[in-house]
Structure 1
């Protein structure tokens, strides 16, 4: 057998046994969720009145926002990890979470006296929010960057930033179960800043570790 034929045969064998990228994303998502859950339960856990809070609209709305971000970012991250894959549809869905939050904030401003806006925006857990969303999300971000590296993103910085949004959405979903501040004004401000920290770290990770 000639050397070229041997190389082609080895390459074909490697491709046939390699895990499909789609499967790697689902396994990565599962691992990231387990990591986030472990950090959440070990570090802070759910709020003491969660059994009552889960019946309130504002509390449930937080999970709608964060899960919308996580799902849309997951779809876009998968698309960005594959060279030549269409990303426009997945990118369009990224407006879902900001749009939902914007609508909720608008309704909040209409229903709450202006004198209460500042108090609801600042809340009581600002520092905890800014600390624990990145803490819960850093492990999942590392997992998602590893999956991106397993793929072949042509825009690694953008892909890393979206992976950070994915990690942030996942982390914020867990953190929302602990947070006593249910106001959309609080969520729109402090959750966004905390998630943006992970997006910035993801962009840096994409630049340093995902390039190929």
Structure 2
């Protein structure tokens, strides 16, 4: 080995090892939550009756269903970011939140008069909710797409879609603090549309940006 090659080899040995994929994902999740919270604080305010609402089941249910989505999508995305990631293992993680939401909607339909359903579904801030959840979720989605580049997903489009679900779960959880529409019908419609939009954006972006 020549002197120059030896120096290069020694220099390479002193470089710090790259961060593990697990560290990258936990760091990305923390940063995404911080960015979403910053956007919320810069543009919105908590609902005026937050203290009273926090003691109601409907308000707490929104937190539960959206946090369940975020946690499930985070676990699924960590699986899909590896080339050997098994898509079947992600199904139970991603199904928990929809099952909770369907159960809540079914209960509401059985316990409320049918003439109140349109009002509950439309709420008072439907388009506003859709746009703001999308806006809050864009920063987290960008962070997760960058984090995916540290892995090697074999299905980048699907992984990107799950990244959108994760971003939407985080954005929705934070937006709950502002939203005064607590009906499961409203959540199932407008939150779901916003999160689906982020998921679609994630799928399209990942196919272009995440390749290996």
- Superposed displacement of residue 14, structure 1: 9.2
Give the whole-Å Cα distance in 1 for the aligned partners of 2:50 and 2:114.
28
Alignment of 1:7-156 (within 5 A): 13=13, 17-156=17-156
1:65-88 residue CA offsets vs partner (Å, 9 max, x unmatched): 100100000001011111113342
Give the whole-Å Cα distance in 2 for the aligned partners of 1:200 and 1:33.
20
Give the whole-Å Cα distance in 1 for the aligned partners of 2:153 and 2:13.
23
Give the whole-Å Cα distance in 1 for the aligned partners of 2:167 and 2:141.
5
Structure 1 unpaired stretches of 5+: none
- SS of equivalent residue, structure 1 residue 46: coil
Alignment of 1:158-169 (within 5 A): 158-169=158-169
Aligned twin of 2:178: 178
- Superposed displacement of residue 16, structure 1: 6.5
- SS of equivalent residue, structure 2 residue 37: helix
Give the whole-Å Cα distance in 2 for the aligned partners of 1:28 and 1:75.
13
1:92-140 residue CA offsets vs partner (Å, 9 max, x unmatched): 2211000000000000001100010010000001011111001100000
Q: TM-score, normalised by structure 2?
A: 0.93
- Superposed displacement of residue 205, structure 1: 1.1
Runs of 4 or more, structure 1, over 4 Å off, are 12-16
- Superposed displacement of residue 13, structure 1: 4.7
Question: How many residues of Structure 1 are paired with residues of Structure 2 in the alignment?
Answer: 208
- Superposed displacement of residue 39, structure 1: 0.3
- C-alpha root-mean-square deviation of aligned residues, in Å? 1.9
